């Protein structure tokens, strides 16, 4: 037998509630109780509004560059819903919806993009790490966090989020490989929104699916409609169980779409067709739940009106809180450098100088005089 | 002659070198249709097509590593790294390979590569978008490191870099990408790598700087009544210590201004060499007005971090009173 | 249809001439003409001898650290045999046999490990890059070299070699991903010798095969018995054709074994069983060809004796040439730094000093006097 | 007390910290059964088992990146990188994350990580096995950088590093791994990070050095008739400039010795700070006896590259005659 088959593999795509309202009872029934679905829906509506408001804050000069999350609410929310709060969420920057579900105050995210490190000072009990700016790097931290849990005999898993572009970075590969070979319970959650700024998905991964990236590590690979929160929860449940029980990592590709520009510094019209965007607007993760709930008679227009009012209030309040935070102190960027500040840094902080004479006025004859000159 | 911003001057240099030499190609993240996140490669995709202006996967080590291969084969790749904060993943390919290839193969292989990278703070960007790592690469033998402070120099230095037979890191101070315009000749010209520029002459004090900080130095000089000579290094490695020596021998006092953290910054090298060369002429210790030895803060505090005209002015006064 | 199969993949293992002498005519016939087989065999014998002699050179202090190639002759040789000399060979350090086949003088490799950069000064017409010491990095250069060929409209491919350990590095992933997505004709050739120094293959890749690493990129993945030169040539022919005609990369896993220590600085008995080594000695790539040729009556003991004598001479001559090279000049490590040496480097070279006073003796009153003091 | 080599002293420190604190774990390439390529972790796998001494995949960014996660979770990982030349792939995780985590999260997350790395030349190793990148990491705010020059210091500093709440790069000069022995107490003790050691006292001249070069300095001092004070920095960041200032204020002359290339080396920072602090006491420009601004050559020429007692002696003579 000169040629022997030694391995077979396949990728399945999961869809439970599609954009036409089709709902698969076999997988979907009981997956998300009605009262939870209502909450999840309400949460998405609030997050979408915050996202729109954040965009306006940037445009009016009240916030720096901001990456909109619009259209990608379901993936991180479905994941956060499936996880325990003791599980780690190791995020990128398009997981606001999941982070807020976890309990992160909305003003934290605003504060971050307002250029204030205190936005990253996330309460420890949330088990969430701050927004990671360098693409592809945070998955390794998730692997380390989950490894620590395993080391301590805890049942905790870590779920880490990243885009399709991030799967091109070497660190992605190393994180997947460490987790697979050392049996570390990580859920690698790829939000394949099909663009990395202006670069289309095929340049990041020309294989038919991103999910098959996981084959390289002998990892379980799941793929789903990321705009279908049921499908996301279904996949997450599988991945979490495998992580908790068998310390095995799983790779999930959630196919979704970035409805907005990459960030407020971007203009997506330069590189992608309006038609494509329209196509995906029809696949919005929020509207399909609303239609579904209406068809199940658990939602109506008056509830919707109430929700929208509540959303307005919640978002305004968050913005107010974010803008009400007192300005950071310039000593802060020194004070947090080390547990104990080295002497030279103390001097730099106290003098706000790096010049030796300025730091040691005894070196000049009459510093006061010269400063007044 | 046209009145151009630094971005336009670089764009012009790229266009002209690509027209002239089909070994030149550009690769990187979003450099194609999008024209780069700072629009430096704007219009090039349309003009030269997808074979010569290539959007790559999102992987900096991949961009530099494949560029090394392209260069070893005799092409002249000009990769763009989106922000200096993302040079990190490519550090190993730059320092373990690009910098060493010529000497480790005794010339059998060379790496005529120009890595374009926006650098520095002051544009209210997110974290890792405002750093100044020039000293890191100046410490690595085998590289050349360039940082223009004006549109004219940017065009001339970039052309020199692309034609240089050795790897060059070409840092573009993003704060002055569009901050001012300057007359830039249409015709091709080069500005030599390794030569500083005397921006203005003076007798009392020498200020040495590079990149966007040159603008702050000029502001401080305008405010001062002293006669100040300003030197824009233009090239971090190899650097024009002769120009610095000549000036400080005359003035006896020197302030060095840079954005990078003070400790082990390029300012330390210049200060040390000034001591070595002008020991008997020095009237005061060389002063460094630099970034603090902290992480560049998020943008709410970045102006407290960056050396500005006020801090430079103070140093001028203090060194004068020494 | 909530769950849809979207991808299927499989890995085949190729074996043509196995260690028991089984030969698959369907794939093997005509693959390597007899006269070539004789040459390839002779070449392997010489390379094996050189490897043994190199080991002794190190032990007797005439050479620095050296990584033995013993047992892994077939993979790189089969590849070099299948490639054109105009194709790039981008190697690691266990491809001596292939490089020598390509025409690299044996003394070049010795010179390298004798601590002399001139060992890397490889004649340009060989289209071979020098030994790469930092693991996993050279595949990106291969991708660039092949890309340059494509850019120029040449039909050249690049074949790059690396170990199982190297597939754990991020750069490996980036090289594979660039080649797959940008359609660059690279053959990624993994010599899976099952160890990375003391670390067993399962820590590098716990998937059933290393070959499936290529799935992640939608790349063609081939796997073969690396100690079977027929199987190697078979896979290489496929990969080369696909690269030349379609500009598609291929990933090849050649399963082999490192019979020696990792390098002369290593002692493999610390971490692996003698039995395992014995098992693989029985799978030696050289002995099986000899047996095969004998069974085909194209080889006999007198030819063997002749060959061994020739091998002795060839190897002694190479060692003599390597040791006869005049010592390098210390100016060399300055002179090759840049096309044009910066002034400060000229001064450092000419004074062999970094101290400013030493470089500029006018700075001291009477340097001569002081040096005599 | 036992008479130990530097390798043994480090091994002892690791054993003791692991016994004491089960948050400490070791990971890296070949650190397990094999005990590391320099045998620094010899015997630990047997003693502590595979959960605490972990052979990882061959991927330096992975080793450091996962260590960051382990540390964020409150463990005390002590990863080993096999040679300083292979720190490159981990540069980004070290500088973009480990160094920034505390300040970017305002203390919500910290990275109590100790990266052990053999450093420097002199053992006739292949390329990329003989470099000295300490200045690179000293320029990155947020890290601590340590380099012991003796078995006693190695043990005490490593214990300090492991207990330090911030990320430490612990460089181990491989040339002196087994070059000499020293009395090392069995009991645990710490040597504080950030304090230099006066190796010997003198009045005519100060030599400042660190790592394996300290041995060469001692040889040169033995040959010299001058009264020389030798300072071993021990810590590259934060560094004990007070000790240097005190000495040079007394001697008025200083030679700095290090293996790394001269340009932008840590010697430049010290030289500059000496000028800043001892300006009026300096009798000659501070001298640097350093690696050349070239790639460390392959081993046939490495002794021509490395600063040795001859070069140091010359500098001593020359600065004396200045
Ligand atoms: C290492 C690194 N390189 C480049 C960038 C600049 N950058 C920011 S976001 C982005 C695209 C990311 O694409 P993807 O991973 O698909 O995430 P998405 O933005 O689509 O959610 C790029 C290139 C970065 N932040 N980090
Ligand atoms: C980036 C890097 N890390 C570590 C090393 C040290 N090292 C040299 S060879 C080796 C193992 C390589 O294993 P593999 O890729 O399987 O090749 P093999 O030696 O088995 O042929 C290691 C860890 C190195 N040379 N480069
Ligand atoms: Mg994306
Ligand atoms: Mg191997």
pLDDT digits (tens, 9 = 90+) for C107-149: 999 999 999 999 999 999 999 999 999 999 999 999 999 999 9
| D135 inside 8 A of chain B by CB | yes
The domain made up of C12-324 is a member of CATH 1.10.3210.10: no
Residues C82-100: tens digit of each pLDDT: 999 999 999 999 999 999 9
The predicted model gives A219-247 an average pLDDT of 98
pLDDT of chain D, 322 residues: tens digit per residue? 899 999 999 999 999 999 999 999 999 999 999 999 999 999 999 999 999 999 999 999 999 999 999 999 999 999 999 999 999 999 999 999 999 999 999 999 999 999 999 999 999 999 999 999 999 999 999 999 999 999 999 999 999 999 999 999 999 999 999 999 999 999 999 999 999 999 999 999 999 999 999 999 999 999 999 999 999 999 999 999 999 999 999 999 999 999 999 999 999 999 999 999 999 999 999 999 999 999 999 999 999 999 999 999 999 999 999 9
Per-residue model confidence (pLDDT) at position A364: 72
Give which of A105, A111, A160, A178 to mutate to test D binding, by max D Cβ within 10 Å. Answer: A178
Which of D124, D129, D139, D258 is labelled catalytic? D129
Q: Which of residues 242-271 of B touch D (CB under 8 A)?
A: 260-261, 263-269, 271
The predicted model gives B245-274 an average pLDDT of 98
- What span, in angstroms and rounded, lies between the C-alpha atoms of C59 and C55? 6
Distances (CA, A) of B109 to A222, B164, C139, C192, D96: 45, 14, 16, 28, 32
Tokens of B259: 């954005």
Q: Is it the case that residue C373 has pLDDT exceeding 50?
A: no
Q: Which of C335, C334, C369 is nearest to C354 (CA)?
A: C334
Which of C59, C118, C269, C271 is labelled catalytic? C271
Residue A306: Cβ within 10 Å count? 12
- What span, in angstroms and rounded, lies between the C-alpha atoms of D296 and D132? 9
Tokens of C357: 């006073």
Half-sphere exposure of D264 (CA within 13 A, CB side): 27
Mean pLDDT over each residue of chain A, to the nearest integer: 96
**Cβ of C197 less than 6 Å from ligand 2:** yes
Distance of CA D79 from the midpoint of ligand 1 (Å): 28
Reported residue count of chain A is 373
Q: How far is D45 from chain B (nearest CA, A)?
A: 30
**Measured between beta carbons, which residues in chain D are less than 8 angstroms from residue B103?**
294-295
- What span, in angstroms and rounded, lies between the C-alpha atoms of D259 and A187? 45
- What span, in angstroms and rounded, lies between the C-alpha atoms of D98 and D106? 14
**What element of type H or E holds D171?**
strand D168-173
DSSP letter at A23? B
Query: Which residues of A are marked as active site?
Result: 258, 262, 271
Residues with CB under 6 A from ligand 1: A 94, 133-135, 162-166, 193, 195-197, 258, 262; B 29, 58, 60, 82, 86, 89
Per-residue model confidence (pLDDT) at position B1: 80
Per-residue model confidence (pLDDT) at position A372: 41
What's the pTM value of the predicted model, to 2 decimals?
Answer: 0.98
Q: Is it the case that residue B104 has pLDDT exceeding 60?
A: yes
The predicted model gives C210-218 an average pLDDT of 98
| B25 inside 8 A of chain C by CB | yes
**Measured between beta carbons, which residues in chain A are less than 8 angstroms from residue D56?**
178, 182
- What span, in angstroms and rounded, lies between the C-alpha atoms of B63 and B97? 13
Q: Is it the case that residue A365 has pLDDT exceeding 70?
A: no
Q: Which chain B residue has its CA at the smallest distance from C181's CA?
A: B57
**Cβ of D58 less than 6 Å from ligand 2:** yes
| D319 inside 8 A of chain B by CB | no
**What element of type H or E holds C146?**
helix C138-151
Distance of CA A282 from the midpoint of ligand 3 (Å): 19
Q: Is it the case that residue C367 has pLDDT exceeding 90?
A: no
Which of B97, B129, B139, B258 is labelled catalytic? B129
The domain made up of D2-184 is a member of CATH 3.40.50.970: yes
Strand boundaries in chain B, DSSP class E: 2-4, 24-28, 53-55, 76-80, 114-119, 144-146, 168-173, 182-184, 197-200, 205-209, 228-232, 235-237, 254-261, 287-291
Residues 6+ apart with CB under 8 A from D60: D81, D86, D87, D88, D89, D90
Q: Which of residues 249-268 of D touch C (CB under 8 A)?
A: 255, 262-263
Inter-chain CB proximity D69 and A145 less than 8 Å: yes
Which of C258, C270, C288, C310 is labelled catalytic? C258
Q: What is the DSSP string of C3-21?
A: EEEEEEEEEEEE-SB-TT-
Q: Is it the case that residue A1 has pLDDT exceeding 70?
A: no
Q: Is it the case that residue B33 has pLDDT exceeding 90?
A: yes
Q: Which chain D residue has its CA at the smallest distance from A150's CA?
A: D51
The sign of the torsion formed by the CA atoms of C146, C147, C152, C154 equals positive
Establish, for the pair of chains A and B, how many residue pairs have beta carbons separated by less than 8 Å. Answer: 166
Reported residue count of chain B is 322
The predicted model gives C239-260 an average pLDDT of 98
**Measured between beta carbons, which residues in chain B are less than 8 angstroms from residue A334?**
292, 294
The predicted model gives B132-138 an average pLDDT of 98
- What span, in angstroms and rounded, lies between the C-alpha atoms of C289 and C293? 6
Distances (CA, A) of D96 to A95, B84, B145, D141: 21, 11, 21, 10
Chain centroid, CA A299 distance in Å = 28
Strand bridging mode D182-184 / D168-173? unpaired
Q: What is the DSSP string of B7-56?
A: HHHHHHHHHHHHHH-TTEEEEETT-STT--TT-TTTTHHHHH-TTTEEE-
Give which of B58, B264, B281 to mutate to test D binding, by max D Cβ within 10 Å. Answer: B264
* Cα dihedral A317→A321→A322→A328 (10° resolution): 170
**Cβ of D56 less than 6 Å from ligand 2:** no
The chains found to touch C (3+ Cβ pairs under 8 angstroms) are A, B, D
- SS3 state at A339: coil
Q: Is it the case that residue C369 has pLDDT exceeding 80?
A: no
Distance of CA B299 from the midpoint of ligand 1 (Å): 20
Q: Which CATH number fits domain B197-320: 3.30.70.1560, 1.10.10.10, 3.30.420.40, 3.40.50.920?
A: 3.40.50.920
The residue whose CB lies within 8 Å of the most ligand 1 atoms, and thus the one to mutate among B29, B31, B58, is B58
Per-residue model confidence (pLDDT) at position A363: 80
Q: Is it the case that residue C370 has pLDDT exceeding 60?
A: no
CB C227 within 8 A of CB C257: yes
The predicted model gives A73-87 an average pLDDT of 98
Burial of A255 (0-12, 13-18, 19+ CB in 10 A): buried
Distance of CA A267 from the midpoint of ligand 4 (Å): 47
Per-residue model confidence (pLDDT) at position A373: 37
Q: What is the DSSP string of C62-73?
A: SS------TT-H
Q: Which of B256, B246, B320, B252 is nearest to B281 (CA)?
A: B252
The predicted model gives B259-284 an average pLDDT of 98
The ipTM, to two decimals, is: 0.98
Residue B1: Cβ within 10 Å count? 9
The residue whose CB lies within 8 Å of the most ligand 2 atoms, and thus the one to mutate among D28, D34, D58, D60, is D58
Q: Where are the domains of chain A?
A: 12-324, 330-371
- What span, in angstroms and rounded, lies between the C-alpha atoms of C133 and A145? 32
Residue C365's pLDDT band (boundaries 50, 70, 90)? low
Mean pLDDT over each residue of chain D, to the nearest integer: 98
Residues A37-48: tens digit of each pLDDT: 999 999 999 999
Residues D3-24: tens digit of each pLDDT: 999 999 999 999 999 999 999 9
**Cβ of C119 less than 6 Å from ligand 2:** no
Chain centroid, CA C88 distance in Å = 12
- What span, in angstroms and rounded, lies between the C-alpha atoms of C361 and C368? 9
Inter-chain CB proximity D106 and A336 less than 8 Å: yes
Return the axis-axis angle of helices C34-59 and C106-113, rounded to nearest 10°.
30
Chain centroid, CA A40 distance in Å = 17
> In percent, how much of chain A has pLDDT > 90?
96
Q: Is it the case that residue B136 has pLDDT exceeding 90?
A: yes
Annotation marks residue B258 as catalytic? no
Give which of D101, D264, D273 to mutate to test B binding, by max B Cβ within 10 Å. Answer: D264
């Amino acid at each position: 037998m000169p040629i022997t088959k030694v391995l077979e593999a396949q990728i399945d795509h999961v869809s439970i509630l599609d954009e036409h309202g089709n709902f698969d009872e076999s997988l979907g029934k009981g997956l998300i109780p009605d009262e939870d679905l209502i909450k999840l829906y309400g949460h998405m509506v609030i997050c979408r509004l915050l996202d729109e408001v954040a965009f306006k804050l940037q445009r009016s000069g009240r916030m720096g560059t901001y990456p909109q999350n619009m259209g990608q609410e379901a993936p991180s929310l479905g994941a956060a819903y499936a996880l325990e709060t003791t599980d780690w969420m190791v995020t990128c920057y398009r997981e606001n919806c999941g982070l807020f579900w976890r309990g992160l105050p909305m003003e934290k995210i605003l504060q971050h993009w307002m250029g204030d490190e205190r936005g990253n000072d996330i309460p420890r009990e949330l088990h969430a790490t701050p927004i990671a700016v360098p693409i592809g790097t945070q998955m390794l931290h998730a692997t380390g966090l989950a490894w620590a849990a395993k080391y301590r005999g805890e049942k905790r898993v870590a779920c880490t989020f990243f885009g399709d572009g991030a799967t091109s970075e070497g660190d992605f590969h190393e994180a997947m490989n460490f987790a697979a070979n050392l049996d570390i319970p990580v859920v690698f959650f790829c939000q394949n929104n099909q663009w990395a700024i202006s670069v289309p998905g095929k340049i990041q991964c020309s294989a038919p699916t991103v999910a098959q990236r996981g084959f390289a590590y002998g990892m379980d690979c799941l793929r789903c409609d990321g705009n279908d929160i049921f499908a996301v929860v279904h996949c997450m449940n599988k991945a979490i169980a495998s992580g908790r029980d068998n310390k095995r990592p799983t790779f999930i590709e959630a196919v979704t779409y970035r409805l907005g520009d990459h960030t407020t510094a971007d203009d997506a019209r330069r590189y992608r067709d309006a038609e494509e965007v329209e196509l995906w607007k029809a696949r919005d993760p929020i509207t399909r739940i609303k239609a579904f709930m209406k068809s199940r008679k658990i939602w109506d227009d008056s509830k919707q009106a109430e929700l929208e009012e509540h959303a307005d209030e919640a978002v305004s309040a968050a913005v107010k809180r974010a803008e009400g935070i007192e300005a950071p102190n310039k000593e802060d960027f020194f004070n947090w450098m080390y547990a104990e500040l080295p002497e030279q840094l103390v001097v730099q902080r106290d003098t706000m100088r790096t010049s030796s004479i300025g730091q040691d006025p005894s070196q000049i004859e009459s510093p006061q005089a010269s400063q007044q000159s | 002659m046209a009145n151009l911003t630094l971005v336009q001057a670089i764009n012009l240099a790229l266009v002209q070198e690509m027209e002239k030499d089909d070994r030149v190609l550009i690769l990187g993240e979003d450099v194609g249709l999008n024209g780069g996140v700072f629009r430096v490669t704007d219009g090039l995709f349309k003009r030269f097509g997808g074979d010569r202006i290539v959007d790559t996967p999102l992987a900096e080590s991949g961009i530099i590593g494949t560029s090394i291969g392209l260069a070893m084969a005799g092409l002249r790749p000009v990769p763009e790294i989106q922000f200096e904060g993302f040079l990190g993943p490519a550090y190993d390919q730059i320092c373990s390979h690009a910098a060493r290839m010529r000497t480790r193969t005794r010339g059998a292989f060379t790496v005529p590569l120009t890595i374009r990278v926006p650098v520095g703070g002051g544009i209210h960007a997110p974290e890792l978008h405002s750093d100044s790592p020039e000293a890191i690469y100046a410490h690595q033998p085998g590289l050349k490191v360039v940082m223009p402070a004006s549109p004219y120099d940017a065009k001339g230095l970039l052309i020199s870099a692309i034609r240089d037979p050795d790897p060059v890191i070409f840092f573009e101070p993003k704060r002055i990408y569009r901050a001012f315009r300057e007359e830039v000749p249409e015709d091709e010209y080069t500005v030599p790598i390794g030569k500083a520029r005397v921006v203005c002459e003076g007798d009392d004090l020498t200020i040495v700087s590079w990149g966007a900080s040159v603008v702050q130095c000029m502001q401080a000089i305008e405010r001062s009544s002293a006669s100040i000579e300003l030197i824009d290094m233009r090239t971090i490695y190899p650097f024009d210590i002769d120009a610095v020596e000549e000036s400080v021998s005359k003035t006896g006092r020197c302030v060095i201004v840079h954005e990078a953290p003070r400790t082990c910054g390029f300012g330390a090298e210049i200060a040390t060499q000034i001591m070595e060369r002008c020991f008997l002429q020095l009237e005061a210790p060389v002063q460094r007005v630099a970034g603090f030895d902290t992480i560049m803060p998020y943008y709410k505090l970045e102006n407290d971090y960056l050396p500005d005209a006020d801090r430079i002015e103070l140093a001028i006064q203090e060194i004068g009173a020494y």
